[in-house]
């Protein structure tokens, strides 16, 4: 079984998947969203990927403010978490995602991805950073996912 990582944004959802041992996270795709309030197609795609990769649970980036308070984006993420849990029946864990986009940009720059192409990769890379943070913090929990 694998673990899915998600970076939920207003226009996109970055998706990453762990390896079967729960050691590493790989960016998979970015789901484009037409409207922030319309989730049906986004949830359907996530459900499809959960089935395809045999995902055991989901790690969702939690965008707390830098001062550790919960703002509008974090509240929207909590709502999205509930939608995923209802639709899939899987547990969804919130993972602090502060600075994940900054880290993603750094990784892409180091990999030599040109600035004009980084936007294509940053969301799924952020999902991988979020998932990798979770995997690193919970190594024993992931054994034998």
Percent of the chain with pLDDT over 90: 59
Cβ distance 46 to 33 under 8 Å? Answer: no
Question: Domains in the chain, please, with CATH?
Answer: 2-142 (3.30.420.140)
Half-sphere exposure of 96 (CA within 13 A, CB side): 11
pLDDT at 70: 83
Q: Which of 123, 119, 47 is nearest to 88 (CA)?
A: 47
Strand 12-18 and strand 2-8: the pairing is antiparallel
Q: What is the pTM of this model?
A: 0.86
As a 3-state breakdown, the chain gives helix, strand, coil percent values, each rounded to 5, of: 50, 25, 30
pLDDT per residue as tens digits for the range 35-91: 777 899 999 999 999 999 999 999 999 998 778 888 898 999 999 999 999 999 999
């Amino acid at each position: 079984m694998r673990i899915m990582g998600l970076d939920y944004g207003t226009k996109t959802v970055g998706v990453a998947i762990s390896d079967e041992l729960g050691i590493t996270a790989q960016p998979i795709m970015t789901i484009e969203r037409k409207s922030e309030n319309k989730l049906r197609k986004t949830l359907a795609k996530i459900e499809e990927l959960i089935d395809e990769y045999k995902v055991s649970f989901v790690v969702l980036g939690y965008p707390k403010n830098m001062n550790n308070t919960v703002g509008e984006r974090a509240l929207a993420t909590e709502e999205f978490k509930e939608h995923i849990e209802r639709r899939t029946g899987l547990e969804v864990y919130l993972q602090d995602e502060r600075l994940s986009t900054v880290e993603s940009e750094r990784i892409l720059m180091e990999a030599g991805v040109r600035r004009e192409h980084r936007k294509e990769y940053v969301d799924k890379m952020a999902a991988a950073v979020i998932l990798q943070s979770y995997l690193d913090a919970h190594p024993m929990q992931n054994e034998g996912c």
